[in-house]
Amino acid sequence: MSCLESYFGAVPDPRAANATHRLGDLIVMMVAASLCGATNATEFSLFAQERKQALSRLIAYEEAPSHDTFSRLLRLLDPEAFGRAFAAFAAGFAQACQGVVSLDGKALRRAYEKGLAASPPLTVSAFAAETRLCLAAASPGDAENEVEAALKVVELIDLTGRLVTADALHCHTRMAQAVTERGGDYLLALKGNRRHWLSRANQHLVETAPAIAERTETSHGRSEWRQAEVVAAAEPLMPGHRAFIRITSRRDQAKPLTRLFMASNLLSPPQALDLTRAHWQIENGLHWILDVHLAEDLSRARKGNAPANTALLNRIARNILQIADTDTDKVPISHRIKKCAWNDDYLINAITHMR
């Protein structure tokens, strides 16, 4: 039996009691299809029909489910329960993972109802920079926003020994408290949405001699100079707050760019340079792959819970693809998707051989 079924088979089944196919089997089919490039219910059904010989090594079924079966399941399945199962599944990949965990939201740009193109649904993900795995994800519920979704994500993962980074939207007391209560530290961007804190940070950096480090790096044909200034906070502005950090950067001959952060640890300036940059791995390591290789931005799954559940399916597939070919890390994700599509043994091994 696939370990996928063991994790996701216990998710509450929203269908009628006389449903033909087991919930765990359907989830295995959708994940396997996603690994091979399928992106919607019609393609999931076609995959189950055409790749039955391969899937029979994991699950048993007589007839391939129809596209209506997959579509109905995606619309009705509880995304919170599905998200909890995903977080447990992801924890099995990275039990010893420490270091930076980046929080960031990503819109599903085409998964909107008619007339709501300006506000497509979004999903907030937690991404481990060290292992390049998505640890958890959640979508806002009715009358909720990205802030609430990010707090849901924090509740899903063990933060012991981890540092949470996030943009200025998540620099608030509730986030700081949620992270510290779960044994983690934080490094949160500080901008004008917290103008009083921003003013205090700038004043403190002027009045107190900061510890300073700078670094010049050349990559991709451009040179970038970066400087970190770190000062201890005179008094905490939110739970666990211990330091203000200012990062100043200049790329080639452009004007310098200054960013401020609040941290729960008094980091050294070299640490501050490394950790503030590590946050952006979520863009290249997760969001870019979801859009370019798994076509998430092209998804039109927009009814009921389908956007949130489709986003979770994509992140499950992304994690499996990340650890496939661990002996040959230079195999690009695009090639791993093709190998799943063309090689039954490779597909089955990717699904079943989990750490």
Residues with Cβ within 8 Å of 155's Cβ and at least 6 positions away in sequence, in order, are 178, 182
Fold of 82-285: Transposase Inhibitor Protein From Tn5; Chain A, domain 1 (3.90.350)
Residue-wise pLDDT for 1-51, tens only, equals 456 777 887 899 999 989 999 999 999 999 999 999 999 999 999 999 999
Does the pLDDT at position 326 exceed 70? no
153: confidence class by pLDDT, cuts 50, 70, 90: very high
The answer, yes or no, to whether residue 220 has pLDDT greater than 90, is no
pLDDT at 320: 93
More confident: 53 or 98: 53
Structure confidence by residue, pLDDT tens digits, 263-303: 999 999 999 999 999 999 999 999 999 999 999 999 999 99
For the chain, residues classed under CATH 3.90.350.10 are 82-285
